[in-house]
Amino acid sequence: MTVPNRTPVDRIPVTLLTGFLGAGKTTMLNHLMHQPEMAGAAVLINEFGEVGIDHHLVEAVDESLLILDSGCLCCTMQGDLVKALKDLAGRSARREIPPVTRVLIETTGLADPVPVIYTLVEQAFVRARYVCDGVVTAVDTTHGLAQLAAHGEAVRQVAMADRLLLTKADRVDSARLAALEERLAQLNPGAPRIQVRHGRVGPEAVFGGGMYTTAGKIPDVAAWLGEEAARAQAGQAAVGDGPVAWRRSSAPLRQEAPRHDASIRSFVVDFPAAVPWIGFAVALGRALQQHGPKLLRVKGLVSVRGSETSPVVVHCVQDVAYPVMRLPAWPGDSVFEDRHGRLVFIVRDLDPLAEADIRASLADLPTDSTALRRVAGSPWLPTKCWLSEPMPRANDSRLKVDGWVVHAKRLARPGG
């Protein structure tokens, strides 16, 4: 069996803007919503009063939705994200508002990004119309180091980010900024760090940070994974007596970079050969099920038996598995010239024995029949949704168009 035939999607991309208290998210939003590039974007906030938008107002649709002169829509969530997303989709479909092209959600300063991601991935109505494009975390350069040292919420927000916005960079000296950047690189080596001065940020710094891009475009996988993580993987592969030496050892291999916070770290698992899809999905699903709270992010690219030229994007947050996505081709990047699959794990408080267990399970994938038996005994397996997708066969007679797969039905001749 082969991997689900899903290419980059055309659902409405959703960007999550998070950051600790006082990071300057509202100031950035005030500037961002001036920009003409925001036409068609919907910004979901908790209260209108927190964002200075009155003088930009073009039309008040009702008490929860405003249309601004930039063409941006501003909508209050009023504590119910699902309702807000449903209302946006319904109003857009009825042409009561301009078509929504993307959504930006601002969270409160103490918010955990995971519940929002879970909603986007698991709620049926939402996941059919929206897709999580990325998590962007604002970090206050003036107080970021102290906040990261004192508050676990700030650490989680940074570790789970696809991009990091270093706000108030105009207020700190180069030494403090360098110290903060070093700390952020330790917590999340794969996330680009963008300095923001005077609260001015462009749409290009906020949007498009994840993997779920428009159809026909191959995402920058190396940037998404983080080249530093890829280089760490190359160093790990050199340990032992061959490129897959870790497969023959129960001892975990990890980056040896110095860290201020040993509870947050990352490691990379390499897949030199194509994986059996069902066995891989079940093995990773069981790892998420068992260690989910400690797996802040799992992301990567794997080659699947039967479709080796079209790698599959894998992305998980704790015990939530994003929908899989198959790229039309391997990225044209030197990091992937060997066409090896790689999974980058960003973990917190994961002990060495648990890491060794994850590595061993991914090195010794079960057969299809064994994997399916395990699925039957694990109805809440996080990756079970990956197995419910249509599995295309090579050289079959099916007609494939966007959104549909049509099977030709062969009828037996009478008496045949």
Distance in angstroms (rounded) separating the CA atoms of residues 73 and 65 = 7
Q: At 374, phi and psi to the nearest 5? A: -65, -35
CB 162 within 8 A of CB 210: yes
Q: Could you say which DSSP state residue 331 is in?
A: -
Q: Write down the pLDDT at residue 330.
A: 86
Which residue ranges form the domains of the chain, and what is each CATH number? 12-206 (3.40.50.300), 227-388 (3.30.1220.10)
Q: Write down the pLDDT at residue 160.
A: 85
Evaluate if pTM is beyond 0.85: no
Question: Residue 139: helix, strand or coil by DSSP?
Answer: strand
Q: Write down the pLDDT at residue 412.
A: 47
Q: Write down the pLDDT at residue 251.
A: 31
Q: Please list the rounded mean pLDDT of every run of 10 residues in the chain (416 residues).
A: 47 92 89 89 80 64 80 81 92 90 85 83 89 92 94 87 94 94 87 93 86 55 59 42 28 35 78 92 93 89 88 87 83 76 89 94 89 80 76 37 43 48
DSSP class per residue in 106-137: EPPTT--HHHHHHHHHH-HHHHHHEEEEEEEE
Question: Residue 360: helix, strand or coil by DSSP?
Answer: helix
